């Protein structure tokens, strides 16, 4: 193991130990148990629910012809990422006194606007590809000669 890796790794280990030590000294045992539950729950929800669902959606998308599929995939990635941030906002909408000027937007409508934009751009890019005779870029098993030639967008 190189010197660089030793230095980075051991400083990381020390920071972890410091953080864990301070957590144990500053937070009550009961709350540490809840934190442990959150930490385990976060991994369980991600690895056990979210990631398999995404893999499943990816598998289902294989029914779509390859040329269109890439635009559907792109739109789902961009739209999905926006939705992850929007969901807690929607949940917390109008939860606070009005004077705080917080969370007073109709986030459901706002995220609908954003998703429409994402979908619109994807459709537009797909149409451009179709019109410009996207034969060269349509899916084949030939790999592009380099990453500039893949030009899927």
Partner 1 sequence: MVPGTSTPTRPRFWPRFASPVRSTALTARLGRVLGIMFGICFVTGLLSHYQYQPWSWLPEPATPVWGYRITQGLHVATGTAAIPLLLVKLWSVFPKLFQWPVVKGARHGLERLSVALLVSSGLVELFTGLFNSLNWYPWPWDFVPVHRFLAYVLIGSILLHIAVKLPDIKYGLNTKLALGDVLTEKSWQENPDAYSNNDNTHVAPPAPEGLSRRGVLLATGAGVGLVVATSVGQTVTPLAPIGLLATRQAKKGPQGVPVNRTADQAKVRGLALAPGYTLQVTGPAPFTLTLAEVEALATHEKSFPISCVEGWSVGARWQGVRLIDLVERAGGSADCRVRVVSLEPKGSYRHSYVDGPQVAEALLATHLNGDRLHIEHGYPLRLIAPDRAGVLNTKWLARVEIS
Residue 128 contacts partner 1 per CB under 8 A: no
Residue 59 contacts partner 1 per CB under 8 A: yes
Sign of the dihedral defined by the CA atoms of residues 110, 113, 117, 122, in that order: positive
Residue 120 contacts partner 1 per CB under 8 A: no
**Coil, helix or strand at residue 139:** coil
Residue 116 contacts partner 1 per CB under 8 A: no
Q: Which of residues 7-36 bind partner 1 (CB under 8 A)?
A: 8-9, 11-20, 22-23, 26-28, 30-31, 34-35
Q: Which of residues 73-92 bind partner 1 (CB under 8 A)?
A: 73-75, 77-82, 84-86, 88-89, 91-92
Using alpha carbons, list the distances in angstroms from residue 56 to 59, 80, 97, 100, 127: 5, 14, 41, 42, 27
- What's the CA gap between 63 and 56, in Å, rounded? 12
Out of 49, 53, 94, 104, name the contact with partner 1 by CB under 8 A: 104
């Amino acid at each position: 193991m190189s010197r660089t890796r030793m230095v980075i790794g051991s400083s990381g280990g020390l920071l972890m130990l410091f953080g864990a030590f301070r957590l144990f000294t500053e937070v009550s045992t009961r709350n540490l148990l809840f934190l442990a539950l959150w930490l385990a729950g976060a991994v369980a929800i991600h690895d056990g629910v979210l990631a398999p669902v995404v893999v499943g959606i990816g598998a289902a998308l294989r029914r779509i012809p390859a040329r269109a599929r890439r635009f559907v995939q792109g739109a789902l990635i961009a739209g999905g990422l926006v939705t992850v941030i929007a969901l807690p906002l929607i949940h917390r909408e109008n939860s606070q006194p009005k004077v705080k000027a917080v969370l007073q937007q109709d986030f459901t409508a706002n995220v609908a606007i954003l998703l429409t934009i994402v979908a619109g751009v994807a459709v537009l890019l797909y149409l451009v590809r179709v019109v410009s005779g996207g034969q060269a870029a349509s899916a084949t098993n030939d790999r592009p000669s380099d990453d500039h030639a893949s030009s899927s967008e």
